C-alpha cells in the first residue's frame, strides 16, 4: 500500500513577491498574525520568486537568474496559512521546524504578495493547513 508521504505530484508554480520572514512564538496570537504580514509588506524588501507547490514539498526559488532556492519545506511542516482581509493578495504561512533540537514553540512566518486573489486562494487550498483570517 502506498502512503501519502510516498506520493509525488508535479509542482504547480506561481510567480509571487516574497516579502520576507520573521520568527514568531507563543506570544503571537492568531489575531496578531495578519498584522505581521502587513508589517512585512510595509517594509518593502520584496524579491520576485517562483513558489512551487507539490506533494510533498513547498519550494521558493529566486527568479533573478541565479535560481537559488530560498527554502524548501515538507507540506506537513506548515502549521498555519495566514491571509489578511485588508490586503487580499497578501498571504503567508507558519513553518514549524521539524528538527529534534528546535524549540517546539517557535515558528517562521513567511509572507508573500500575489498578483491576484485567485493565486492566493489556489495556494491556500493546495497547502491546506489550518487557515487564519
pTM, to two decimals: 0.79
Give the CATH number for residue 28.
2.30.29.30
pLDDT, position 1 = 45
- Local confidence band at 120 (pLDDT 50, 70, 90 cut-offs): confident
> Mean per-residue pLDDT for 94-118?
80
- Quick one: which of 53, 50, 52, 42 has its CA closest to 20? 42
**Residue 4 within a domain:** no
Say what the pLDDT of residue 2 is.
46
C-alpha cell at 18: 516574497
Per the structure, how many domains does the chain have? 1
CB 70 within 8 A of CB 18: yes
Residue 46 lies in a domain: yes
Domain that holds residue 98: 10-128
Amino acid at each position: 500500500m502506498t502512503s501519502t508521504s510516498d506520493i509525488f505530484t508535479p509542482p504547480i508554480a506561481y510567480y509571487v513577491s516574497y516579502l520576507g520572514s520573521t520568527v514568531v512564538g507563543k506570544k503571537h496570537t492568531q489575531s496578531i498574525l495578519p498584522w505581521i504580514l502587513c508589517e512585512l509588506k510595509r517594509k518593502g524588501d520584496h524579491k520576485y520568486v517562483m513558489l512551487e507547490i507539490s506533494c510533498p514539498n513547498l519550494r521558493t526559488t529566486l527568479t533573478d537568474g541565479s535560481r537559488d532556492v530560498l527554502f524548501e519545506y515538507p507540506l506537513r511542516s506548515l502549521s498555519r496559512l495566514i491571509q489578511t482581509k485588508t490586503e487580499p493578495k497578501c498571504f503567508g504561512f507558519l513553518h514549524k521546524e521539524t528538527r529534534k533540537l528546535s524549540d517546539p514553540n517557535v515558528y517562521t512566518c513567511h509572507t508573500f504578495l500575489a498578483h491576484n486573489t485567485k493565486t492566493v486562494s489556489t495556494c491556500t487550498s493546495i497547502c491546506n493547513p489550518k487557515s487564519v483570517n
